[in-house]
Amino acid sequence: MKFIYRLLSGCLALQLFTMSAFAQTALPVLPPDVAVNVPQAEFAGKGKLTFFGLEVYESSLWVAPNFKGLDFEKHNFALELHYLRNFTAVDIAKRSLEEMQRIEPVPEQKVVLWVKTLSEAFPNVKKGDRIVGVHKPGFGVTFWHNGKRSGEIRDTDFSRQFFGIWLSPKTSEPKLRLALLGKAKL
């Protein structure tokens, strides 16, 4: 009887361990705002941005079939950010422009316009908020905040440079880029 009890306990422990391991490797659920904007979206990868040990956000990349990372600007995709801290819209906009300029110079008149436009498209975010940016080739970008459309920028140069923050080979966060493109073709 003790043998059967130990055998059943061992099987149960193994099953729980297997379920736990499966749960950790299960793919994220496709968010509705991504499903609507990127038909046939596939999960490509995810990563977390930390800055001096502080967690800033977790990010996920959702791509259309045949997505290629080196030609990201030619494809429809969505980048999802789950914020782990509070930020104002202006702070997000200014930081985004700093990162965009690291990759490629932005003319001063565009910097002023893009900071203003981004500040209007982004809300202030609180820990737990979610922003999704949807890249639309030949159009620009549409932003969603917690599942509700928050703005759009109809500028292909802006969209390419904005998403370059995460997807350009010149990004300041190459490990995050590789994590996001983990299952996509480079």
* pLDDT cut 90: percent of the chain above it: 74
Mean pLDDT of 94-109: 93
The token duo for 38 is 């990127």
Q: What is the pLDDT of residues 21-69, one digit of tens each?
A: 344 457 788 999 999 999 899 999 999 999 899 999 999 999 999 999 9
Distance (Å, rounded) from C-alpha 102 to C-alpha 90?
19
Q: What is the DSSP string of 19-70?
A: HHHHHHHSPPPPPHHHHHHSTT-EEEEEEEEEETTEEEEEEEEEE-TT-BGG
Q: What is the pLDDT of residues 87-100, one digit of tens each?
A: 999 999 999 999 99
CA nearest to 131, candidates 70, 73, 79, 95: 79
Residue 184: which pLDDT band, with cuts at 50, 70 and 90? Answer: low
Mean pLDDT of 106-133: 93
Distance (Å, rounded) from C-alpha 25 to C-alpha 39?
24
Predicted pLDDT of residue 18: 37
Q: Does residue 74 surpass a pLDDT of 80?
A: yes
Distance (Å, rounded) from C-alpha 18 to C-alpha 97?
44
Q: In what order do the strands lie in the sheet with 140-145?
A: 42-51, 54-63, 77-83, 130-136, 140-145, 148-153
CATH number of 29-180: 3.50.70.10
Instruction: Please state the pTM of the whole predicted model.
Output: 0.83
3 vs 32, more confident: 32
Q: Does residue 15 surpass a pLDDT of 90?
A: no
Mean pLDDT of 160-184: 94
Place of tokens 């995810």: 46
**What crossing angle do the helices spanning 108-121 and 89-103 adopt, rounded to 10°?**
140
